[in-house]
Amino acid sequence: DLNNDGQSEVIVTYDGNDIIDVLVAYDVGLFISERSYPTASLPNSVALGDFNNDNHLDIVVANSASNTLGVRLGYGNGSFAHETIYSTGLSSGPCFVAVSDFNNDNRLDIIAAHYENRTVGVRLGYGDGYFGELRTYSTEAHPVFIAIDDFNDDNILDIVVANQGNNTISILLGCGDGTFERQITYSTGISPSSVAVGDFNNDSRLDIIVTNSGSGDVSLFLGHSNATFERQTNFSIGNKPWSVTVGDFNNDTLLDIAVANRWSFDLVILLGYGNGTFARLTIDLNGTTP
C-alpha cells in the first residue's frame, strides 16, 4: 500500500522503456497508471521496503544496462523522492533485487543478482534511506533470482540463488553480520529461472522449488536441518516455466506451488499432499504470455 489508502498498488518495470509505473488500485478491481518515474537504463526488477523507518514504503530498482540500483524514498501518498543511485560494479548487469535484514540490526539491506559478472551483491542499510559499501559473493555462473530464508535454523537469514549459466542453485549461509559463507551448489534442470522456498513435506524443514526454463520442468529439493538438501526430484511442468510462487491455494493447510509457463501460455498449480508429492491442475491463459 504505497499511499496508505488500504488498497494495494502495483509497480511495473519495462524492458523497452527506462521508467517504472505506479498503478493505483480502485474498488472496481482496476489498476490505473497514476505516476511514472524515470530510471537508469533497462530496469529489470523492483523491490519494496521501508528503508528510512518512516513507516512509508520505498522502492529499489535493478537497472541492468547501467549497472546500478536506484532507490526512491516514498512520501506515503503514492509519490516518491528523487532517485539515489548505487553502483553494482563494472559490467555487473544486475537483473534481480530483494530486501531483508541480513545483519539483525532492524534495518533493511539490499541484495542483488549480478548476471554479467556472476556475483551477488549486498549493501547494508543505515536505516536512514542510505546504504553502505558493496560486498560481492561469487556464484561462478549467471545468477538470475534470489530467495531468502533461514535454512539451518540459526535465526540468521540465508540465500538461495538460481544460476542460469551452469544449471545450479547456490546456497549461501548467513553469518549474522551481513556476510555469507562460501556457497554450496546443487544441480538443477536446464536454465533455472526462479526459485521459491517452503516446507512441502511437513517436516518443519525448508525445501526449495526451482523452475527450469530450458528443460520445461521444476526441481524440488527437500531440506535437512543442517542446510543440506536431498537430490532433486523433477516434475515436468510445461513450455518455458519462468516464475514460481508458493501458498495454500485450496485451504487444506498444505503448501502448494504455482508456476507460470511463458511459451505454453498456462499456469500450472501443483496441489501439495504434504509429503513432497503433488496433484497437477493446469489453467489455460488463452494465448496470454504470463
| CATH code of residue 143 | 2.130.10.130
pLDDT in tens, 99-130: 999 999 999 999 999 999 999 999 999 999 99
pLDDT in tens, 172-198: 999 999 999 988 999 999 999 999 999
Supply the pTM of this predicted model: 0.93
165: Cβ–Cβ under 8 A, 6 or more apart, which residues?
Answer: 118, 140, 141, 142
Q: Is residue 59 one of the residues assigned to a domain? A: yes
DSSP annotation string for 75-134: -SSS-B-PPEEEE--TT--EEEEEEE-SSSSSS-EEEEEETTTTEEEEE-B-SSS-B---
Is 60 exceeded by the pLDDT of residue 217? yes
CA 41 vs. chain centroid, Å, equals 20
Domain count, the chain: 1
Q: Is residue 33 one of the residues assigned to a domain? A: yes
Q: Is residue 216 one of the residues assigned to a domain? A: yes
Domain boundaries, position 182: 10-221
Confidence tier at 3 by pLDDT (50, 70, 90): confident
Q: Is residue 43 one of the residues assigned to a domain? A: yes
